[in-house]
Amino acid sequence: MIEHSLDKAHAILYLRPKSALEQGDFAQLANTVDPYIRETGSLSGLIIETPAFPGWESLGAMAAHIRFVRDHHRYIKKVALVTDSALGNVAEHLASHFVSAEIRHFSAAELEAAKRWVMNKDSA
């Protein structure tokens, strides 16, 4: 399950995975973000807050996740991974080869820094 919210004022999609990712999570995300992207052309960023990657409920959920990334990565300028998990560093370097967004890992205590970075208010 993924809790999510769209901050339209700053064009940021916030994701907070709470349990194993489900196939329906990605349909809900698309229903939230697709109309906004059609209207504005893109998102400034995506902020993913998670203590650890929760995995997928099924192979169908993993496939839905891959399709969501494939269909949306060109419309997202920056991705901030806010986690203390070592997977954050791995994901930052690995995903940068497959998506057009700029990706950066932040510790769990750096949520505000992640927001500033996504909104271009901090270049660090």
Nearest to 81 by CA among 48, 115, 118: 48
This prediction's pTM: 0.86
Give the residue-averaged pLDDT of 6-12.
Answer: 96
As a whole number of Å, the CA-based R_g of the chain is 13
Contact call for residues 45 and 15 (beta carbons, < 8 A): no
Contact call for residues 2 and 30 (beta carbons, < 8 A): no
Examine the pLDDT at 99 and tell me if it is beyond 80. no
| CATH, range 2-118 | 3.30.750
pLDDT for position 97: 46
What is the Cα–Cα distance from 103 to 77, expressed in whole angstroms? 9
What is the Cα–Cα distance from 123 to 12, expressed in whole angstroms? 17
Looking at the chain, the whole-number percentage of residues with pLDDT higher than 90 is 66
